[in-house]
Amino acid sequence: LVVSGSTGEAATCTPAERLALWRRVQEQARGRIPIVAGTGTNCTADSIALTRMAEEAALDGVLVVTPYYNKPTPRGQVAHFTAVARSTKLPVVLYNVPGRTGTNTLPETLAQVQGLPNVVAVKESAGSLDQASAIRERTKLTLLCGDDSLTLPMIAVGAAGVVSVAGNVAPREMRELCDHALAGRMAEAEAAHRRLLPLFRALFVESNPAPVKFLLSAMGLVANELRLPLVPVEPASETAILAAARAV
């Protein structure tokens, strides 16, 4: 379980709120499944403080995004990831999402930090199978897909799974897709992908996490509330999201 990622609106949570979320998930998980905390920010010192807080809270790992807005060079990215990784004993999953950060963390950059003993994986959300393949070729890091709609093709080029938005509302179906793909049952995996594809698209009809929070609220699981500057989806989007969900 990943807590305090983009879908969890971490960017508008205080450190105390993040800790409260982590504690709540720990209470519910009861040690049955690893919990990874999103601790990356666009400030290295803040990222280190949050990462140390996650370690003190006895979480199982951290997810560290490429610093956003600042747009660090590859050398700056290496320095940032190195400083955060060296501040903790927890396993570190790096997170590349150029659409949100404004900067692409290239395979060559990841290759420079893979020697850090606790840097173990990368959530890759650049949307490029060529880049995903290059990560597999040039690093030993576990490759995780960061885009639901690319789960199947990324597993085909070496990804071990997906950090999923759709998994919040269709966990069994996402698990089946991954299980089929990882076992080489490609016909079954493709069929699962095709069933889920309308949902994948609908969950990004507006900025994540607004669509998935609306759907979760329709399922009676959460309130349809977001923190500004995010707002609930438009009525037309609600209709599209519900139609896609019913088709799964």
**How far, CA to CA in Å, does 217 sit from each of 6, 25, 93?**
18, 19, 30
Return phi, psi of residue 158, to 5°: 120, 0
Known catalytic membership, residue 123 = yes
Q: Which residues does 111 contact at the CB level (< 8 Å), separation at least 6? A: 138, 139
Q: Which of 71, 89, 123, 213 is catalytic?
A: 123
Q: % helix / strand / coil in the chain, to the nearest 5?
A: 50, 10, 40
Report the candidate in 17, 7, 90, 9 with the shortest Cα–Cα distance to residue 51: 90
* Look-up of token digits 């199947």: 152
The DSSP bridge partners found for residue 3 are: 37
Q: DSSP characters for 43-98?
A: -HHHHHHHHHHHHHTT-SEEEEEPPPSS---HHHHHHHHHHHHHT-SS-EEEEE-H
* Spatial contact of 125 and 96, defined as CB atoms under 8 Å apart: yes
69, 71, 89, 95: which is the annotated catalytic residue?
95
Q: Which residues are catalytic?
A: 95, 123
